[in-house]
Chain A
Amino acid sequence: MSRRVRRRVVKRGKEKVDIPEVDENLMLPEEGVVDWTKLPDDTVIQIFLCLNYRDRAALSSTCRTWWALGRSSCLWQALDVRAHKFDSAAASSLASRCGDLQKLRFRGPESAEAIINLQAKHLREVSGDGCRKMTDATICVLAARHQELQCLQIGPDYCEKITSDAVKAIAICCPQLQKLRLSIHEVEADAINALAMHCQSLTDVGFIDCRKVDEAALGNVESVRFLSVAGTTNIRWDSAVQHWNKLPNLIGLDVSRTDIGPSAVSRLFSSSSSLKLLCSLSCPALEGDAAFASNNNHKGKVLLTVFTDILKGVGSLFGDTPRSDRDIFVHRSNSIKDKTLNEILNWLEWNLSNSLLRVSESNPSGLDKFWLEQGTGLLLNFMQSSQEEVQERAATALATFIVVDDENASIDIGRAEAVMQDSGISLLLNLARSWREGLQSEAAKAIANLSVNAKVAKAVADEGGIDILTNLARSVNRLVAEEAAGGLWNLSVGEEHKGAIAKSGGVKALVELIFKWSRTSGGEGVLERAAGALANLAADEKCSIEVATMGGVHALVMLARNCKIEGVQEQAARALANLAAHGDSNNNNAAVGQEIGALEALVQLTNSPHDGVKQEAAGALWNLSFDDRNREAIAAAGGVAALVALAHSCSNASHGLQERAAGALWGLSVSETNSIAIGREGGIAPLIALARSNSEDVHETAAGALWNLAFNPGNALRIVEEGGVQALVWLCSNSASKMACFMSALALAYMFDGRMDEIAQIVSLSEGPSKSGNLDGPRRMALRHIDSFLKTFSDPQAFSAAAASSGPAALAQVTESVRIPEAGHLRCSGCEIGRFVTMLRNPSPTLKSCAAFALLQFSIPGCRHALHHVSLLHNAGAPRVLRVAAAATGAPLEAKIFARIVLRNLEQHQNQHQAE
């Protein structure tokens, strides 16, 4: 499903509606400001704990009391600096507060190097990601300075530069180590032996996604209770079984994503007395033996595969106590007192969520059943984990596994609905409310992806997701803002959500995002999503006013002018197109044109190498050209040449691009000066080519443009010379769009009402026999097709009834049957109306009928431009000509009746006018 909404150009006029101001004072004290420092200290600390570090900094900067509370050691036991630039200066400035720091999460090797500056000697847990380029030296220093370290995790990225030397250093420096999880190239025997010798409390080892691990040496780490070699290659399973079955304490083993086969598993199960649980998700060799892999229980030991019921398997670890397996991960804190079982569940959560994420990323086929029946449930369970890492990974996996096609942003509906059914939306929204930016961005990403589905989007909106996303869009953290803006982009596709987004302050937040991130590099993702969301919102008339009020016009024009990223240009142009699509119902159209450089930028963008950018820019110029001043300004900015070039180049492009290229030329050609320029620049041939398209939308715009162009006799002759008569005749009788038929008939009528003949004579006199040759043939063909077009509207019964009666009812009936509703949106100039009036006196009965038919369409009471046309008709002295036409004895019946209807339309307008 596309994130886009269709641009609508023609819209019925609407009353201008004032959008009520978003009431930001809603929450304000009525009784005046109360002193919040009266809050109990522990409550203030609890509030601190709900905020990220920036907000904590702001809060503690307000007054001395809160400053002191902000330094409370309970706020400084754990630190997550992943979202921050964490260099030695930053670390040093934190040192005075980190005396008791126990737990640290960081991102990237530069941050790793800075950790020592925290001087947090009592650090127990360190966990880092994004450490691909981290070196042995950094790890060695880290280990040497933090000898109380109990837990060290570096991953999930593979650290190519870290060797066994680093592992040895860890072993020697950190004798209290309990948990070690690494993803490195090779773990050699001496490193593992050093761990076995020095780290007597090491119970949890994970050499995950390594290239090679000395499996024999692992058998020496007797303290180990949980071992993971998930994703690790080159394991010799014979040797592994032989050595690991001697590990006296081994309870859980994770061999997911490896090449382990059934025989190794069954030998492990039969030879290890302590082993309880083997986790083996996505092991092709094992799954090849379906009977083996779908058996949960192997002699009292539990095997978890994509074919087994994982929750049931885990439940069986708890013995006979009857329990609800489904909640085993969630509700255990209340019910499980057994420390070992709790450990198992924690370990399992961590490892399963890791494997699920990896599997969701590669998205192998054949796992549909697994995801629907188990995977979704597991991820939702893990999102409620007490381990923040697990929550985060589960949200990431959730955001990933529902996407089936990255290119088109399409998602698997079944999976999305499975998430929704299990209250996944509330869980995600809950995570998004967390102060932790890692959780915020992952949850927002999942919500954004899920919201591609309209049903899920509704659930998100119903559960208050729009407010939450709008809040996140205000975040200064780029990742969070980007995902939140993406969420608003997808939600804003739904008509029913647009108003809610505006009400939540989303428009303002999105416009501010553009101002904020257009100044900095790296913000392209934010800009594209914010502009995309604004584009969708601008398609709604009320919201479009809000977008303009919040400074959106300036922001979007700035993007169109300055941003070099195509995705951003495309969305900015689309947003400007939608802003300008509300015609005369608000001022946005004019406002966009008045923004300095806007029209020049859009004209430039039609020259982009990217089709999407060209399409949206042409669409914007089309919509903007509805405003007279904009139209001429576009031409002055080189729009004619640019759009003619675009029309030339898009013969093989998408229908959307073709439609807009011709549409923009249609818009420009409203003035005769532009028409002449388009003809001179060579715009006629490509428009004729587009008229032969097989898409109705392209028919309409190409026919519209040719109709306008044909008003000018020089252009009319060019159309004949370029073979346009055949194209128009074909359109007139074959297009599925009545508008396209109508406008091509009018184009043909202009071409053959006589005005072209003079020019043709001059040309043939000066240049000899012209390319157009004899005009009689084309003329006969044109008239014949106009005639048959008009005949498609004739209903003999209604016509003879109208001829017989002088009452209004019969005429009204004919009007109903010939009316082309969209034609009411067309607006003609005085010259055009005058030309049709003149045509009423044309000797050709076909042209007479055609002129009366056109005037009928343009003057139907209630039509958007009817009043305008009626006054032009009076100026042209039409009533007299119409009366003559209606009474003429030789004229065809249709012409007479159409003329009578136009007269009646004029009368009705006059009556209405008098009544007012």
Chain B
Amino acid sequence: MGKERRTNVIPLPEVDGVTLERIIGFLKIYTEESFQQFTVQEKKKRCDEFFANCKFNDFLTLASASNYMGAQVVLDEACQRTADMMKNKSVAWVRKNFGIKNNFTPEEEEAMREKHEWAYEGVDPDDDEEDII
């Protein structure tokens, strides 16, 4: 077994070239500090530009990648935009559209329902929803 070699390579798991390029492109223009100097309007405009034409799954890759790379602005906005898509949706909807496999037993699901009941109390559950698929 040889000596451990030192290397300058930073591992970026799960980051594809296109995503990497996009984020680097953003970081080239703005630093965290320079971005915070913008007014609310300007920030929104720049984020809208950055996320324009983003497909559903691009948010996943952008959020993951910006997390690994520490690109906070991109990460915050990707999380916010992902969350916006999840608002007021049912469990089934989230599972279907976010490709999540249900690995609970029926008993667990029942127990979970009880745990979560409080969040729906006092307001009407959102009962009619439809898929975006």
Which A residues contact B (CB, under 8 angstroms)?
24-25, 27-31, 33-40, 42-43, 46-47, 49-64, 66-67, 83-87, 89-91, 93-94, 334, 384, 423, 426-427, 430, 433, 435, 463-464, 471, 474-478, 512, 515-516, 520
Q: In whole angstroms, what is the CA distance A474 to B119 when docked? A: 16
Measured in the bound complex, the distance between the Cα atoms of B96 and A372 in whole Å is: 51
Question: Min CB distance, A73 to chain B, in Å?
Answer: 16
The answer on a CB contact under 8 Å between B88 and A475 is yes
Minimal Cβ-Cβ distance residue in A for B133:
A28
Query: Apart from A29-B55, A477-B123, A515-B128, what are 8 other A-B pairs with CB-CB below 8 Å?
Result: A27-B85, A28-B55, A54-B88, A54-B119, A55-B89, A61-B112, A90-B118, A93-B118
5 residue pairs A–B, Cβ–Cβ below 8 Å = A60-B116, A63-B100, A87-B121, A93-B117, A426-B40
| B4 within 8 Å of A (CB atoms) | no
Pairwise interchain contact B64-A55, C-beta atoms closer than 8 A? no
B99-120 at interface with A (beta carbon < 8 Å):
99-104, 109, 112-120
| Contact of A62 with B119 at beta-carbon distance under 8 Å, contacts A29-B57, A47-B79, A476-B124 already known | no
Q: Is residue B9 within 8 Å, beta carbon to beta carbon, of the partner chain?
A: no
Q: Does chain A have a CB within 8 A of B31?
A: no
The residue among A34, A83, A430 with the most chain B CB atoms within 10 A of its own CB is: A34
CB of B28 within 8 A of chain A?
no
Residues of B within 8 Å of A57, CB to CB, are 116, 119-120
Identity of the chain A residue whose Cβ is nearest the Cβ of B115 in the assembled complex: A93
Identify the closest chain A residue to B94 (Cβ). A62
Is B19 part of the binding interface, using a Cβ–Cβ cutoff of 8 Å? Answer: no
User: B84 to chain A: which residues have CB within 8 Å?
Assistant: 50, 433, 471
CB-based nearest A residue for B112 = A61
The answer to whether B83 and A47 touch across the interface, beta carbons within 8 angstroms, is yes
A28 in contact with B117 (CB, 8 Å): no
| Chain B residues with CB below 8 A from A471, complex form | 84, 87-88
A18 CB to nearest chain B CB (Å):
21
- Please judge, given known A-B contacts A34-B57, A47-B82, whether A430 and B40 are in contact too, CB under 8 Å: yes
* Contact A476 B79, CB 8 Å, known A25-B132, A40-B64: no
How far apart sit A51 and B94, CA to CA, in the bound complex (Å)?
13
- A42 to B75, alpha carbons, bound, how many Å? 11
B74 CB, nearest partner CB in chain A, Å: 11
> Are A84 and B123 also in contact (CB < 8 A) when A35-B100, A62-B95, A63-B104 are?
yes
Question: What distance in Å separates the Cβ of A878 from its nearest Cβ neighbour in chain B?
Answer: 57
Kindly provide the distance from the CB of B29 to the nearest chain A CB, expressed in whole angstroms. 21
A27 contacts B63, C-beta separation under 8 Å: no
* B98 CB–A CB distance under 8 Å: yes
Does A50 contact B79, Cβ atoms closer than 8 Å?
yes
Q: What are the interface flags for B58-92 relative to A under an 8 Å C-beta threshold, 1 for contact and 0 otherwise? A: 00100110011000000110011011111111110
Of the residues A27, A476, A512, contact of B56 by C-beta under 8 Å: A27
B34 in the interface (beta carbon within 8 A): no
Q: Which residues of B contact A40 (CB under 8 A)?
A: 64, 67-68
Contact of A38 among B60, B91, B112, B115 (CB under 8 A): B60
Interface centre among A30, A54, A430 (most CB of B within 10 A): A54
Nearest first, the 7 closest Cβ-Cβ pairs linking A and B are A85-B122, A50-B83, A33-B99, A90-B118, A57-B116, A36-B98, A85-B121
Among B14, B56, B75, B122, which residue has its beta carbon within 8 angstroms of that of A83?
A: B122
Contacts of B64 in A (CB 8 A): 38-40, 43
B41 at interface (Cβ–Cβ under 8 A)? yes
Q: B99 touches which one: A35, A427, A520 (CB < 8 A)? A: A35
* Most central of A57, A86, A89, A475 by chain B CB within 10 Å: A57
Give the distance in Å from the alpha carbon of A39 to the alpha carbon of B82 in the complex: 12
Is the pair B100, A84 in contact by a Cβ cutoff of 8 Å? Answer: no
**With known contacts A34-B99, A55-B88, A55-B89, A28–B56 Cβ distance under 8 A:** yes
Residues on A with beta carbons closer than 8 Å to the beta carbon of B126: 474, 476
- The answer, yes or no, to whether B44 is at the interface (CB within 8 Å) is yes
**A36, A54, A474, A476, most chain B CB atoms within 10 A:** A36
Say yes or no: B132 contacts A36, CB within 8 Å. no
Interface of B is mostly: helix
Q: Please indicate the chain B residues that have their CB under 8 angstroms from the CB of A60 in the complex.
A: 112, 116
Residue of A nearest to B36 (CB): A334
Chain B contacts to A: CB under 8 angstroms? 14, 36, 39-41, 44, 48, 55-57, 60, 63-64, 67-68, 75-76, 79-80, 82-91, 94-104, 109, 112-126, 128, 132-133
In the docked arrangement, what's the CA distance between A477 and B115, Å?
20
Task: Establish whether residues A426 and B44, one from each chain, have CB atoms under 8 Å apart when the complex forms.
Answer: yes
Once the chains are docked, how many angstroms separate the CA of A476 from the CA of B115?
19
Cβ of B118 and Cβ of A94 under 8 Å apart?
yes
Select one of B48, B96, B118, B124 contacting A516, CB under 8 A.
Answer: B124
- The answer, among A35, A53, A64, for a CB contact under 8 Å with B119, is A53
| Complex Cα–Cα for A706 and B74 (A) | 70
Q: Which of B39, B104, B120 contacts A423 (CB 8 A)?
A: B39
Q: Cβ of A55: which chain B residues have Cβ within 8 Å of it?
A: 83, 86-89
How many angstroms between the C-alpha atoms of A384 and B89 in the bound complex?
29
Residues of A close to B91: CB separation below 8 A: 58, 61-62
By beta carbon, the residue of chain B nearest A94 is: B118
Given known A51-B83, A58-B94, A423-B40, contact A63–B103 (CB-CB < 8 A)? yes
The CA of A216 and the CA of B48, in the complex, are separated in Å by: 58
Please determine whether A27 and B118 come into contact, CB atoms closer than 8 angstroms. Answer: no
- Residues from chain A with Cβ under 8 Å of B128 in the complex: 512, 515
Residue pair B102, A62 in contact (C-beta under 8 Å): yes
In the complex, the answer to whether A63 meets B102 with C-beta atoms within 8 Å is yes
Q: Are B86 and A59 in contact (CB under 8 A)?
A: yes
Query: Which residues from chain B contact A25 at a C-beta distance below 8 Å?
Result: 132-133
Please indicate the chain B residues that have their CB under 8 angstroms from the CB of A38 in the complex: 14, 60, 64
Contact B79 A43 (CB under 8 A): yes
Q: How far is the CA of A641 from the CA of B132 in the complex (A)?
A: 50
For residue B101, which residues in chain A have a CB less than 8 angstroms away from its CB?
35, 63
Collect the chain B residues with CB atoms within 8 Å of residue A427's CB: 40
Which of these, A33, A49, A463, A475, contacts B97 with CB under 8 Å? A33
Residues of chain A within 8 A (CB-CB) of B82 are 47, 50
- Which one of B68, B76, B94, B118 has the greatest number of beta carbons of chain A within 10 Å? B118
Question: Roughly how many angstroms separate A60 CA and B68 CA in the complex, as a whole number?
Answer: 23
Nearest CB on A from B91, distance (A): 5
- Cα A475 to Cα B124 with chains together (Å): 10
A62, B100: Cβ atoms closer than 8 Å = yes
Q: Quick one: which of B48, B67, B121, B123 contacts A43, CB cutoff 8 A?
A: B67
The chain B residue with its CB closest to the CB of A384 is: B40
A86, B118: Cβ atoms closer than 8 Å: yes
Q: Is the CB of B121 within 8 A of A84?
A: yes
Complex: how many Å from CA A42 to CA B68?
Answer: 11
The distance in angstroms between the C-alpha atoms of A433 and B64, with both chains bound, is: 22
Contacting pair B118 A61 (CB below 8 A)? no
**Taking the nearest CB of chain A, how far is it from the CB of B83, in angstroms?**
3
Q: Which of chain B's residues has its CB closest to A515's CB?
A: B128
Asked if B124 contacts A29 (CB within 8 A), the reply is no
Instruction: For B83, list chain A residues within 8 Å (CB).
Output: 47, 50-51, 55, 435
Contacts of A84 in B (CB 8 A): 118-119, 121-123
A61 to B14, CA, bound (A): 25
Which residue of B is nearest A81, CB measured?
A: B118
| Distance in angstroms between the alpha carbons of A512 and B113 in the assembled complex | 25
Residue of A nearest to B95 (CB): A62
Given contacts A35-B99, A39-B63, A57-B120, contact A67 B86 (CB under 8 A): no
Q: Which residues of A contact B118 (CB under 8 A)?
A: 53, 84-86, 89-91, 93-94
Bound CA–CA A52/B95 (angstroms): 18
Q: How far is the CA of A476 from the CA of B123 in the complex (A)?
A: 6
On chain B, the residues within 8 Å of A430 by CB distance are 40, 44
Most buried by A among B84, B86, B89: B86
When the two chains form their complex, are residues B60 and A520 in contact, meaning their CB atoms are under 8 A apart? Answer: no
Which of B36, B48, B68, B100 has most A Cβ within 10 Å? B100
Most buried by B among A25, A58, A93, A430: A58
Complex Cα–Cα for A28 and B99 (A): 12
What is the chain A residue whose CB lies nearest that of B126? A476
CA distance A516 to B125 in the complex (A): 10
